[in-house]
Amino acid sequence: MLNEKNIFGFPLPRIDGPLKTTGTAPYAAEYHDPGMLFGHAFYATIASGRIVSIDTAKAEAYPGVVKVYTHKNRPDTASSDDAWKDEVAVPGHPLRPLENDRILYDGQPIALVIAESFEAARDAADLIQVAYEADEPHTNIEVEKAKSYVPPEARKEAFLPTDPRGDAEGAYEAAPFKIDAEYVQEGEHHNPMELFGTTVIRGEDGYLTVHDKTQGSQNSHDYVCGIFKLKPETVRVVNAYVGGAFGSGLRPKHQLFFAVMASLDLKRSVRVEMSRREMFYLTWRPATVQRMQVAADAEGRLMSVRHHAVQATSLYEDYQENVVNWSGLAYKCDNVKLSYELAKTTLSTPGDMRAPGAATGFLALESAIDELAYKVGMDPLEFRVKNFVTYDQNDDLKLTSKALDACYREGAKRFGWSKRSQEPGSMRDGHDLVGWGTATGVWEATLSPAEAKVRLFPDGKITVMAAASDIGTGTYTILAQIAAQNLGQTADRVSVLIGDSTMPKTAVEGGSWTAASSGSAVQAGCLEVKKTLLSLAQKMENSPLAGAEVEDLAIRDNRLVLDKNDQMGLAIADILGSNGMSSVEGHGKIAPDEEQAKEWVSYTHSAIFVEVKIDAELGVPRVTKIVSAIAAGKIINPKTARSQILGGVVMGLGMAMQEEGMIDHRTGRIMNHNLAEYHIPAHADVQDIEVIFVEEEDDKASPIGVKGLGEIGIVGVGAAVANAIFHATGTRHRHFPITIDKIMEGLPAR
């Protein structure tokens, strides 16, 4: 039987797995209420301009239709931008659905049909007739970059390029080996399994229970309360199960606004759900152009790094990512200059997509580093090891831990890197060209403020409560393991209640901080439980725990005992019973240590090794082997942790070779807004992926020693694939994704 000594590190299957695999876990658009109404949005078919006229008469006359909303009859809402800005909003004017006749991007919602059935709402929406006055679209990042600008307001101070150090220009000019290259990355679109949907259940007293597809129930709660001027206690937002998100669900989407608006206006329960096509008009990883200028001396030491990035944003907001700062901290270099700008486009505001900024920045950085290694004549892995850095040069801070050297060492050994030949095109497997590539990955390991309640019952059962979300990452499971570990139970004795705005405060689930933050809050709550139990026990007559400190205690077999002598203790049932209590509760709170942050900073690290095989005549590429070595502090659950990395690696494959939003720049419209034409890795594209977690102790990154795994799995993968393709063919590809047509053009002559 598991005990408190070995729950950490045990590959416990997901406790929510049976519900999900049997189809009994209810998602946001699967709740029902008698008499519920259904909404279907109607979308603009131009990328820029204005609505001249909108005729809804036929839609309103369609059987079953209750009401059609447009900018002409939308109910009043809050007027200030601040009221519309959610917890993770970016600078600018947030989209206000049906605000006016202005069209800002293709797919902008311009009407909402509410009907007695989904089918009636959908069919009636097709009857809406709109006349537009179209303006010229601006959607090509390679054209719009000419008008790029420095954002006047930073999204976060940490996203600002760090100050230059040394003389990057002079060192670059003086260096014997240098690379000056431009890397272009097309926009990528989120495609989680669960479509965005919101079900608003209206109570007889007007109380709203909102089931929303979101990464933060409290963020959605505050958003609708601010917009519609609702009392916080009259609204509850629930997101118990989320079918994938990875950034797409951080900011509230327009279906939430529509569902709440219609429910308040019509005083009925309402559901609004999007289609797969509509998902392409939402959060997306922005198209980016990056210029890398890197230089090294004859021994392979970096002499200069210059990194300039231009990213696409919308007309109405300045979305920003931390793209370039990674180039100042990934390797040792005393001469660095970083810059970042935006380019306005007639597209929707981009948004966070797994490892935002880092996945993009490392795509260019690690490609350029590989190119420079070849220029110097060094093995690409040896070059990276040569430039290993032990502190954060950007901010002159010490690292709480860094086992990247172990990632290089163990990953290379498992991959068989020593058998690699340096010359591009020199490795073959029958008719296939074989290439081996590598890359480094880094992601920030942050801690966000979080709270949790832990309740222990006399029979040893535990309830954990927090507003935290589980977007498929395993939050339910690891919180159960943490509570069980700290209170001497098995995980099956723990009930985890999360995804509810009425629960203790947490941030949105993003940035890989949930495990470290909510997990540490649960541990703090468990400590409060122990303190209360000890206080109660010491009030009992002839208590064997008199004089004991909480650090001396453990819970075993439902008894509070001395850790070093479990014969000395009391049954929890007796402690609670003697005080007339049916349970004991602890409220845990954690927050970043501001004093520590002045001296220390935390990151997760990775080393990725990739093998590609490319048909020498047809150019068909296959990624046949990947080893991802990860340094991320303590691993609570190797099974869920491995799944996180596997998912990140597969998304990295899509970034490298398949995913791109195809826009007709003449009209500004997305052409491949479906999963038939927007290509993502399928089962046949994913072969051997091995995940290694190297040993890494870190007592500063978080109270429980974990760093987070959601993002690090994707960082560097795209570059490692590109570097492997170069090694196989001898051709460098700098425009992503690297599709088969590009590979065919770069095949060596026969």
Do residues 228 and 200 make contact, with C-beta atoms less than 8 angstroms apart? Answer: no
Do residues 97 and 227 make contact, with C-beta atoms less than 8 angstroms apart? Answer: no
Short-list 361, 423, 441, CA closest to 730: 423
Residues 6+ apart with CB under 8 A from 3: 488, 490, 556
Any idea how long the chain is?
A: 750
Residues 6+ apart with CB under 8 A from 182: 289, 290, 291, 292, 734
Respond yes or no on whether the N-terminal peptide bond of residue 63 is cis (omega within 30° of 0).
no
Do residues 553 and 437 make contact, with C-beta atoms less than 8 angstroms apart? Answer: no
DSSP 3-state of 544: coil
Q: Which two tokens stand for residue 606?
A: 């990775």
Tens digits of per-residue pLDDT, 52-61?
A: 999 999 999 9
Do residues 142 and 665 make contact, with C-beta atoms less than 8 angstroms apart? Answer: no
Counting as low any pLDDT under 70, the low residues of the chain are 1-6
Torsion angle defined by CA atoms of residues 476, 203, 96 and 115, in that order, rounded to the nearest 10 degrees: 110
Q: Which two tokens stand for residue 44?
A: 């603009």
Do residues 361 and 295 make contact, with C-beta atoms less than 8 angstroms apart? Answer: no
Residue 749: what pLDDT? 79
DSSP 3-state of 365: helix
Report the interhelical angle of 638-657 vs 717-729 (nearest 10°).
50
C-alpha atoms less than 13 angstroms from C-alpha of 10 in its C-beta half-sphere: 20
Say which amino acid occupies 662.
M
Do residues 586 and 529 make contact, with C-beta atoms less than 8 angstroms apart? Answer: yes
CA 307/CA 320 separation, integer angstroms: 16
Which of 444, 451, 696, 711 is catalytic? The answer is: 711
Per-residue burial over 488-508, b if 16 or more Cβ lie within 10 Å, else e, is: bbbbebbebbbbbbbbbebbb
CA 312/CA 588 separation, integer angstroms: 41
Host H or E run for residue 621: strand 621-631
C-alpha atoms less than 13 angstroms from C-alpha of 741 in its C-beta half-sphere: 4
Residue 748: what pLDDT? 86
Respond yes or no on whether the N-terminal peptide bond of residue 164 is cis (omega within 30° of 0).
no
- One DSSP character per residue, 582-593 reads S-EEEEEEE---
CA 612/CA 424 separation, integer angstroms: 13
Catalytic residue status for 116: no
Cα 262 to the center of its chain, rounded Å = 30
What Å distances lie between residue 728 and 58, 179, 616, CA to CA? Answer: 60, 20, 10
Query: Which region holds residue 708: left if phi is over 0, alpha if psi is between -120 and 50, else beta?
Result: left
Q: Please state the φ and ψ torsions of residue 326, each to the nearest 5 degrees.
A: -60, -30
Do residues 519 and 636 make contact, with C-beta atoms less than 8 angstroms apart? Answer: yes
CA 339/CA 324 separation, integer angstroms: 7
DSSP 3-state of 563: coil
Q: Which two tokens stand for residue 634?
A: 């303590």
Sign of CA dihedral 234, 240, 243, 246: positive
Q: What percent of the residues of the chain are helix, what percent strand, and what percent coil, each to the nearest 5?
A: 30, 25, 45
Do residues 45 and 137 make contact, with C-beta atoms less than 8 angstroms apart? Answer: no
CA 70/CA 110 separation, integer angstroms: 6
- One DSSP character per residue, 447-458 reads ---EEEEEEE-T
Per-residue burial over 233-252, b if 16 or more Cβ lie within 10 Å, else e, is: eebbbbbbbbbbbbbbbbbb
CATH numbers and ranges of domains, the chain: 31-136+193-245+249-279 (3.90.1170.50), 146-188+284-446+599-743 (3.30.365.10), 447-591 (3.30.365.10)
Cα 725 to the center of its chain, rounded Å = 27
CA 220/CA 501 separation, integer angstroms: 9
User: Whose structure tokens read 């990057």?
Assistant: 168
Do residues 640 and 710 make contact, with C-beta atoms less than 8 angstroms apart? Answer: no
Residues 6+ apart with CB under 8 A from 312: 141, 144, 187, 286, 287, 288, 342, 343, 345, 347, 350
What Å distances lie between residue 633 and 144, 363, 604, 696, 698, CA to CA? Answer: 42, 24, 8, 5, 6
What Å distances lie between residue 618 and 196, 218, 531, 736, 744, CA to CA? Answer: 40, 52, 68, 20, 7
Residue 6: what pLDDT? 57
Residue 8: what pLDDT? 87
Q: Please state the φ and ψ torsions of residue 556, each to the nearest 5 degrees.
A: -135, 135
Do residues 657 and 719 make contact, with C-beta atoms less than 8 angstroms apart? Answer: no
Q: Which alpha helices (DSSP H) does 229-328 contain, by range? A: 254-266, 276-279
Q: Which two tokens stand for residue 166?
A: 């040394």
